[in-house]
A and B are shown apart, each in its own frame.
Chain A
Amino acid sequence: MLSDADLTQLTLARAVNLIANREVSSAELSLAVCERIRQLNDRVRAFITISLEDAILRAAIADNDVANENRLPLLGVPVSVKDLYDTSLMRTTAGSKVFENRMPGRDATAVKRLDRAGAVLVGKTNLHEFAFGLTSVNPHYGTVRNPWDAERIAGGSSGGSACAIALRMGFGSLGSDTGGSIRIPASLCGIVGLKPTYGRISVHGVIPLCWSMDHPGPMAQTVEDVAILLGVIAGHDPKDPCSRNVPVPRYTDALTGSIKGVRVGVPKTYFYERLAPEVDSAVRAALKGLEKLGAHLIPVELPYLKVHRAVWLQIASPEAYSFHEPLLKAHAALYGADVRGRLEAGRGLFSIDYVRAQRTRTLMKQECRKVFESVDVIVTPTAPIPAPRIDDLHKPWDGGTETAAASLARFTRYFNVVGLPAISIPCGFTASGLPIGLQIAGKAFAESTVLRVAHAYEQEAKWFERAPAM
Chain B
Amino acid sequence: MPNQSDSHNELTPEGAAVLKEIIEETKSLREIDPGEAPPAAVFEAE
Question: A residues within 8 Å of B by Cβ?
Answer: 197-199, 211-212, 241-242, 244, 304, 306-307, 309-311, 313-314, 317, 329, 332, 337-338, 340-345, 347-350, 353, 355-363, 365-366, 368-369, 418-420, 443-445
Evaluate whether A344 and B18 lie within 8 angstroms (CB atoms) in the complex, with A212-B42, A362-B37, A365-B40 already known: yes
A-B contact count (CB 8 A): 128
Evaluate whether A199 and B43 lie within 8 angstroms (CB atoms) in the complex, with A307-B29, A332-B9, A341-B18 already known: yes
**Interface contact A345-B40, CB-CB below 8 Å:** no
Contacts of A360 in B (CB 8 A): 29, 32, 34, 37
**Interface contact B2-A350, CB-CB below 8 Å:** yes
Residue of A338, A341, A368 with highest tally of chain B CB at under 10 A: A341
State the Cβ distance, B16 to closest chain A Cβ, in Å: 8
**Interface contact B14-A340, CB-CB below 8 Å:** yes
**Interface contact B38-A348, CB-CB below 8 Å:** no
Residue of A197, A344, A358, A365 with highest tally of chain B CB at under 10 A: A344
Can you list 25 contacts pairing A with B, beta carbon distance less than 8 Å? Answer: A199-B45, A211-B42, A241-B43, A244-B44, A307-B29, A309-B25, A311-B29, A340-B12, A344-B11, A345-B11, A345-B15, A349-B19, A353-B29, A356-B29, A356-B34, A358-B39, A360-B37, A361-B39, A363-B35, A363-B37, A368-B46, A418-B45, A444-B45, A444-B46, A445-B45
> B residues 14-37 with Cβ under 8 Å of A?
14-19, 22, 25-26, 28-30, 32, 34-35, 37
Evaluate whether A314 and B44 lie within 8 angstroms (CB atoms) in the complex, with A341-B15, A347-B6, A348-B11 already known: no
Contacts of B2 in A (CB 8 A): 348-350
Complex-state Cα separation, A275 to B1, whole angstroms: 33
Dominant secondary structure at the B interface: loop
CB < 8 Å: which of A211, A306, A358 contacts B40?
A: A358
CB < 8 Å: which of B4, B22, B44 contacts A199?
A: B44
**Interface contact B12-A337, CB-CB below 8 Å:** yes
Q: Looking across the interface, which residue of chain B has its beta carbon closest to that of A419? A: B45
Contacts of A357 in B (CB 8 A): 29
Evaluate whether A313 and B34 lie within 8 angstroms (CB atoms) in the complex, with A198-B45, A358-B42 already known: no
Contacts of A355 in B (CB 8 A): 39
Evaluate whether A340 and B39 lie within 8 angstroms (CB atoms) in the complex, with A348-B2, A419-B44 already known: no
Contacts of B8 in A (CB 8 A): 329
**Interface contact A317-B22, CB-CB below 8 Å:** yes
**Interface contact A363-B32, CB-CB below 8 Å:** yes
Complex-state Cα separation, A310 to B18, whole angstroms: 12
**Interface contact B15-A420, CB-CB below 8 Å:** no
**Interface contact B37-A356, CB-CB below 8 Å:** no
Evaluate whether A314 and B22 lie within 8 angstroms (CB atoms) in the complex, with A356-B29, A363-B32, A420-B46 already known: yes
Contacts of B38 in A (CB 8 A): 359, 362
Contacts of B15 in A (CB 8 A): 340-345, 348
